[in-house]
Chains A and B, each alone.
Chain A
Amino acid sequence: SAVISQKPSRDICQRGTSLTIQCQVDSQVTMMFWYRQQPGQSLTLIATANQGSEATYESGFVIDKFPISRPNLTFSTLTVSNMSPEDSSIYLCSVGGGGTSGDDEQFFGPGTRLTVL
């Protein structure tokens, strides 16, 4: 299994600002995913980020609000732009188990707990 780290682990931000979350993996992986989890709730997929291509966003999430970079096979960033209190959540990155089809198990980072005032 991959070891995944995220920075920052938590942050408190002001409305209207942006925050970039970093996700670092200890091995090269094809598929990386970004999820949002509101406290006590399930996980909602924001986008799939594959190296060398544009991220694929799920319904309800747009690139202008959540731009994603994937510069190499071990790193990705998610930016939460022009934040509002509704963006307060835990943001998790995950990586696929190694296959390229996307149906493998996923390994999650520790998450970034974001509070927007």
Chain B
Amino acid sequence: GQQVMQIPQYQHVQEGEDFTTYCNSSTTLSNIQWYKQRPGGHPVFLIQLVKSGEVKKQKRLTFQFGEAKKNSSLHITATQTTDVGTYFCAGYNTGKLIFGQGTTLQVKP
């Protein structure tokens, strides 16, 4: 079945360092979405990418959708302690959203 792989599983960074998580799908996606889940919380929608090669920015966060619409990345510039949490990509195809395994980000102050 369709799979969405996400790496790395964990990332520890020093505050101020950059962070990137990568997402790859086994099939072409209609769109890809990114969610953030704080410890003890529920997933919160961040953004949706639809077009091939699309790039979107939200302050220090940059989201990219690959040309083939099978991969995506989230890059955080100059991490802050408020960025702590698990970031999930979720690919939409054939009627449902498939979540990646998530990347848990720890930020050391």
Residues of A within 8 A of B (CB): 1, 33, 41-45, 48, 58-59, 92, 102-111
Q: Is the CB of B88 within 8 A of A105?
A: no
Q: Is the CB of B45 within 8 A of A48?
A: no
Main secondary structure on B side of the interface with A: strand
Beyond A45-B97, A102-B95, 15 additional pairs, beta carbon < 8 A: A42-B101, A43-B90, A43-B99, A45-B96, A45-B98, A59-B1, A92-B42, A102-B92, A102-B97, A105-B48, A106-B33, A106-B97, A107-B45, A108-B43, A110-B42
In the complex, whether B80 has a CB less than 8 A from a CB of chain A is no
Q: Is the CB of A102 within 8 A of B1?
A: no
In the complex, whether B52 has a CB less than 8 A from a CB of chain A is no
State the 6 A-B residue pairs at the shortest beta-carbon distance, nearest first: A105-B45, A108-B42, A43-B99, A103-B92, A42-B99, A42-B101
For A106, what are the chain B residues with a Cβ–Cβ distance below 8 Å? 33, 43, 45, 97
Q: How far is the CA of A49 from the CA of B69 in the complex (A)?
A: 28
For A111, what are the chain B residues with a Cβ–Cβ distance below 8 Å? 42
In the complex, whether B68 has a CB less than 8 A from a CB of chain A is no
How many residues in B have their beta carbons less than 8 Å from beta carbons of A?
A: 21
For A92, what are the chain B residues with a Cβ–Cβ distance below 8 Å? 42-43
For A105, what are the chain B residues with a Cβ–Cβ distance below 8 Å? 33, 45, 48
B97 to chain A, nearest CB (A): 7
B102 to chain A, nearest CB (A): 6
For A59, what are the chain B residues with a Cβ–Cβ distance below 8 Å? 1
B45 to chain A, nearest CB (A): 4
For B41, what are the chain A residues with a Cβ–Cβ distance below 8 Å? 110
